[in-house]
Structure 1
Amino acid sequence: MKLVDPVKCQLIWVTKEMIDVQAVGIHGLLVCFLRQIVGGDFSDGNLWLCFEIVSIFLTKWDSLLEVEPMILTSGLYTYLRLVADHYRLLSNPKLEALKQLEIDFCIKVLREQFSVCLKIGRDLVRLLQDVVHIPNFRATWKDLVLNQGKFKTPGFSVISQLYNTRTSSQYILLRISPEMETQLRFLLTCVKLGSQKRYQAWFAKKFLCAPNRETLIVDIVRFICCAHHPPNEIIQSDIIPRWAVVGWLLKYCTKNYVQANVKLALLYDWLFFDERVDNIMNIEPAMLLMVYSIPRYIDVTHTLLEFLFLLVDSYDVEHKDIIIRGVSSSLRVLVKKGVIRSFDVLTSCDALSPVLKERLDRFLSGAELEIYKRLEQTRFPSPFALENSSCMGTPTPSPERERDRFAIKSADTSVMISDLQ
């Protein structure tokens, strides 16, 4: 917020008073505060705002629950992202009290108000995966996967129920500041393809070049996929397309764990796509990025397809059938709606790995799900299969080790639910 410190303090005080009198519009005011908190920013001013807003959520809990319980989900979405960043920075003693408050708030919302948490949808699972290495979240995750009754939420019995709910763009926007949103929408609606380099360089210098800001790319990619859907006149013009901006952002990533999370953000809706409830615009950027990277940037095509199939195999092995259906539906709808004419551009590409082309053919022919069903019929799990396949009893890795496990071309990526069951 571009205000002097005394004014900021007064604004926080007024906000508390407004909550006490149940003022109209308090939800919108708190959302404005949440959007002013910048991810990856460890400056004193930003950390102060983090502390003040999470303190409001905790100290005014009963009042907020009475007048506007859904604001708790906005706070949860925001602070799950923030604590993931804050927990990775081990050398800042200023963060200790803040991290504990953030963790306490998130756990409180999840444990006491899980019925409203369900409104977030599938991105709640994605965010929880990024903090599951934190001991306080480990038990909550275990209950979410194995003991849903602990949440005392009628109708909730399995984690896959969250997969069926597409996350509203209102949540996605929480991690994009208004200024960043304005610049991104300008880039994607006014800048012509071929003239974008200086705008991208300006954007990177302003928002991404500070230390630890790289994690913002995850939120930006999610915004591009889920919250910015250009009209046909923009799509058919020479304005820089969304897939090109995503490709630039992927190249801008330097840390392996950030690259893995960015690719998960890009492909996440593919895993659970249902034509009846999902928007094809959420999955379009990844498809076009794969197609238009041939042949000059074939490594991009190869990496995205490889990561997609890695997610199919390892993301949630207990619900692999749901994921196979989601990816199959994505591929079918992309051709049906004319995003691409056919998949010949991939299946006939000599530069693409034969293994990937064979796997793609299996999805396109419908054979992938049949093969999975046959394998399931011949599998004889022991009574202790779930326990033995779980890593819940293993020591919690340190943040450094957790970061090291995010490897772009390795099957050992920490974004997998099956690693955490």
Structure 2
Amino acid sequence: MVSRLTHAALCEPENPIEVSLRQSFESLQSTLTPPFSLTIPKPGDEYSHTNLAILHAILTEPHFAVTHIKHLHAVVTDGYATFIDALFKIVHFLYPKLLASVKSQVLWVAEETVRVLGIGFDAVLVTLLRQIIGGDFSDGNCWLCLKLVTLFSNQRQCLLDEAPHVLSFALYTFLRVLSDHCRVGGDENLEALRRMEINLCVMIVRLDFRLCLNIGRDFIRLLQDLLHVPEFKGIWMDIVVNPSAFNALGFVGVSQIYRTRTSSRYHLLRISPEMETQLRFLLTHVKLGHQKKHQIWFARKFLNEPERDCVIVDIVRFVCCGHHPPNEIIQSDVVPRWAFIGWLLKLCRKSYLVESVKLALFYDWLFFDERVDKIMNIEPAVLLMVHSIPNYADMTNSLLEFLLKLLDDYDLKHKDLIVEGVSSAFKLLVSKGVIPSLDVLTSSPVISPVLKGALGRLLSGVKVESSNACILARISASPKSSHICP
């Protein structure tokens, strides 16, 4: 009997990807053991079936994997493109359901595709990175982290030469994962994994700093979550006061990174393919007012385990920067992005998580420049504030308060840049008609007079005084209602 690739319930139909691999294997099984035919498979179906059969054999017969990979090397005529495309589909669509033994073989053969520089190996590595689940400390997820951090450490130079973008994706992923792993102590295995992740990230930053510049401003956001780690504190100090330490031609300081918008490709890294499918469905097809059951299912599926709520930060960054619906969706009655983010904020129970989610929501505001930034990245925050005024004024006040405090608290050395960014964001949102006027914020009776005054001075071009931070701190200390936008 041919071995399966996945776990499957009795009533669950077989996945067509697995079926096609198994059928190819069954039809060619007698040709997959030595001595091999000296004839190269003909282009087309014969060649495709041979590649699928060999891949199935590698994944289900680990004791013969070396023989099978040699067979592949002997018959390949397309730079491994057919083989790697099939491997990508397995990882992208089936990884959570794969048997443990198959997952182990997937990681083994993925590294083999790097060694031969097969066409598409970079896509396989990226989709493997996306299978690392934030806030998940299970053995399987930590094993995947370990295997990938080992792979990227071993293949760093090769990737730097052939696919440096993948190395920057790995850096982004492991910086983000480290912020989760550093919150949990007392586990020797996790401590060993943390040390490997730190070593990989520090090596990339110190030796290949141009990759950090490719990431853009979210590199700083992730780095600042790790300043309690001595190695990253040292990196931050060099970025701020000694940028020449990185030997990166043209790098002049942190403001250069602030001004570089992070591509949505990075935000997609921390959203698994399965989660992406559900998010896009909810934000494309579900009508406002009918989203409750979908949101409950989503929370149970992806956020219900201990520590998994940290993924909310990544979801907010993805929704703001990676999911930009077309006008026909925006103008329809589909659940808007701002409403979904309001619901995510309601799920946050830990104060540090609330602050991180708000920073994720407003991060592009701080350095906004319409010449390089996208208005869709900043739209959800202002719409959440405006639409919350009638029934959830505390949401509006808390978000506006947080944003204005950032002017003083985030980076005093670059306060002028941040004030300019936030001011520019507000003005563009009005000029493009996202909101008709800022009077809805500056004149609303339910918004704190102090906040309205600070916002008015910001928009009028008057320098926001540092004393506002003290006033806003007093507001923060006042009791707040627990009402939050649904």
Shorter-chain TM-score category? 0.7 to 0.9
Equivalent residues in 2 for 1:166-315, closer than 5 Å = 166-315=261-410
Distance 2:160 2:359 in 1: 33
Paired residues of 1:111 and 1:151 also in contact (CA < 8 A): yes
Secondary structure of residue in 2 paired with 1:94 = helix
Distance 2:115 2:327 in 1: 46
Distance 1:105 1:409 in 2: 39
Distance 2:167 2:280 in 1: 28
Distance 1:236 1:82 in 2: 36
Paired residues of 2:268 and 2:322 also in contact (CA < 8 A): yes
Question: Which stretch of the first structure deviates more once superposed, 340-349 or 284-293?
Answer: 340-349
Match of 2:73 in 1: none
List structure 1 segments (4+ residues) > 3 angstroms apart after TM superposition.
none
More relative contact order in 1 or in 2 (CA 8 Å, sep 6+)?
1
Q: Aligned-pair distance for 1:175? A: 0.1
Q: Say which one has the larger Rg.
A: 2
Gaps of 5+ in 1: 376-407, 411-421
Distance 1:138 1:292 in 2: 40
Match of 2:176 in 1: 81
Identity within the alignment, %: 58
Q: For residues 409 and 110 of structure 1, do their structure 2 counterparts lie closer, same or farther at Cα, with a shift above 3 Å needed?
A: farther
Give a deviation string over 1:273-302, Cα, whole Å, max 9, x none: 111111100000000000010131111100
Give a deviation string over 1:320-353, Cα, whole Å, max 9, x none: 1000100010010010000000011111211211
Paired residues of 1:188 and 1:241 also in contact (CA < 8 A): yes
Does residue 1:360 correspond to 2:451, yes or no?
no
Equivalent residues in 2 for 1:269-418, closer than 5 Å = 269-368=364-463, 409=476
Q: Aligned-pair distance for 1:44? A: 0.7
Does residue 1:112 correspond to 2:207, yes or no?
yes
Give a deviation string over 1:224-251, Cα, whole Å, max 9, x none: 0000001111111111100000000001
- Which of 248, 265, 275 aligns to 1:153? It is 248
Distance 1:67 1:10 in 2: 23
Q: Aligned-pair distance for 1:21? A: 1.5
Which amino acid in structure 1 is aligned with residue 242 of structure 2?
A: N
Which amino acid in structure 1 is aligned with residue 365 of structure 2?
A: W
Paired residues of 1:226 and 1:281 also in contact (CA < 8 A): yes
Distance 2:206 2:424 in 1: 34
Which amino acid in structure 2 is aligned with residue 297 of structure 1?
A: Y
Distance 2:447 2:298 in 1: 33
Match of 1:123 in 2: 218
Distance 1:243 1:9 in 2: 40
Paired residues of 1:291 and 1:301 also in contact (CA < 8 A): yes
Paired residues of 1:302 and 1:353 also in contact (CA < 8 A): yes
Q: Aligned-pair distance for 1:366? A: 1.5
Distance 1:236 1:91 in 2: 51
Distance 1:147 1:211 in 2: 40
**Normalised TM-score (structure 1):** 0.87
Which amino acid in structure 1 is aligned with residue 171 of structure 2?
A: L
Does residue 1:4 correspond to 2:103, yes or no?
no
Which amino acid in structure 2 is aligned with residue 262 of structure 1?
A: V
Question: Which stretch of the first structure deviates more once superposed, 247-256 or 86-95?
Answer: 86-95
Q: How many residues align?
A: 375
Distance 1:353 1:361 in 2: 12
Paired residues of 1:307 and 1:409 also in contact (CA < 8 A): no
**Normalised TM-score (structure 2):** 0.76
Which amino acid in structure 1 is aligned with residue 260 of structure 2?
A: T
Which amino acid in structure 1 is aligned with residue 103 of structure 2?
A: K
Paired residues of 2:185 and 2:191 also in contact (CA < 8 A): no
Give a deviation string over 1:51-73, Cα, whole Å, max 9, x none: 00000000112221221122110
Q: Aligned-pair distance for 1:409? A: 3.6
Q: Aligned-pair distance for 1:136? A: 2.1
Which amino acid in structure 1 is aligned with residue 232 of structure 2?
A: F
Distance 1:61 1:232 in 2: 42
Which amino acid in structure 2 is aligned with residue 110 of structure 1?
A: V
Match of 1:16 in 2: 111
Q: Aligned-pair distance for 1:22? A: 1.6
Q: Aligned-pair distance for 1:25? A: 1.2
Distance 2:182 2:244 in 1: 29
RMSD of aligned residue pairs (Cα, Å): 1.4
Give a deviation string over 1:78-136, Cα, whole Å, max 9, x none: 00010100010113332011100100000001000001220100100000011111122
